[in-house]
Amino acid sequence: MNTKQPSWRSDKRTSSDRGYGYAWQQARARYLEAHPLCVMCEAEGKVTLAGVVDHKTPHKGDESLFWNEGNWQSLCKRHHDTDKAEQEGRHKERAKFDQSGRVVW
């Protein structure tokens, strides 16, 4: 018997039904206003406006973790879609290249 639950990300509900509705958009806007810079860029010594409020610990549908502002961080889209995705194991395999420029997988 398969007891593994499907990922909340593959859920067929709308983003609003998954918690990313009006209340989230308002909370997100307030958070970005108070924390406007990407924390990963800052760690690299760069100054970049953030556009994403990321959950440091993936909430996986847990509403208390979802709404816990202590679990939020401001990220630019690049860091959210690359480094953070890689940390969470949801990145796409990236091509690597040897010294001659050939793709190495």
> What percent of the chain has a predicted confidence (pLDDT) above 90?
47
Average pLDDT of the chain is 80
Closest CA to 38 of 68, 89, 88, 72: 72
Q: Would you place residue 59 in the very low, low, confident or very high pLDDT band (cuts 50, 70, 90)?
A: confident
Residue 30, domain extent: 22-92
Segment among 40-44, 65-69, 93-97 with least mean pLDDT = 93-97
Tell me how many domains the chain contains.
1
Q: Tokens 């961080």 map to which residue?
A: 73
pLDDT for residue 61 = 85
Given a cut of 90, whether residue 102 has pLDDT beyond it is no
Tell which wins on pLDDT, 66 or 7: 66
Instruction: Please report whether residue 30 resides in a domain.
Output: yes
Given a cut of 60, whether residue 77 has pLDDT beyond it is yes
- CA 105 to CA 93: how far, in whole Å? 9
Instruction: Please report whether residue 100 resides in a domain.
Output: no
Instruction: Please report whether residue 1 resides in a domain.
Output: no
